[in-house]
Copies of this chain bind each other. A is one copy, B any other.
């Protein structure tokens, strides 16, 4: 008999089921929202603000509003014309910040190029910043202070916790350094004692960093930027990228054969973002209504 080559099927990574976890979180949120309504006579309220009619943004806002309704959160929507100025938007957000019937504020972004997005974000009162976009919220995340987290990084941390990923002393590589995703994700991982590396478009050898990473967070929006062959065997791969055609920032098929845990796209990080938004809205309401 001639020797035969036996291909041992490699163990595939376990999928991190963001859809299921988000459903569980949403259930808890709904129960807490109902309790707020029972004790105060009014439900938590999230104000959503949309400038213009970008189809993707319209869809996202509609999804968020639908989830609010399902969770027993009142959704108040303000649709502003595309020509809205920074001053007008700031004024709208300040009014919502001062409105005691509104507990959380979401400004759907990106807003148009003619608007100073940072100025708009900063018009949101920190205690209503349930999307975690203000400088104040970022600093709070960075220093482990009370405050709301940016929703996608917050969702990532919940996924890691749900799958019992040990972070202390582990190498975490965050690819991307945006204000609402990469930067806060790194700070949250650092707060959990990971050794955190920020990689980005100017990083000289991304593959070398990925190859050393126990945890990879891809948060850059470039299809399959992270090569499957670079994933360290046994690593945890979090794909927060969203690209056309339901393609993430990670070569999923390649990574699947090397990672221990991996988020699918869709159904991984995405559902968690909205779950955290709703959860934080109820928390904001509890605090503002003196229940927490």
Contacts and interface: CB of A to CB of B under 8 A. Distances in A.
A222 interface: no
A204 interface: yes
Nearest to A193: B202
Contacts of A171: 204
A136 interface: yes
Contacts of A22: none
Specify the main secondary structure of chain A where it touches its partner.
Answer: mixed
Interface in A162-212: 168-171, 177, 179, 183, 186, 190, 193, 195-200, 202-204, 209
- Most B CB atoms within 10 A — which of A139, A193, A204? A139
A134 to B, nearest CB: 8
B195 A203 contact: yes
A177 B143 CA distance: 10
A142 B136 contact: no
Interface of A: 118, 135-136, 138-140, 142-143, 145, 168-171, 177, 179, 183, 186, 190, 193, 195-200, 202-204, 209
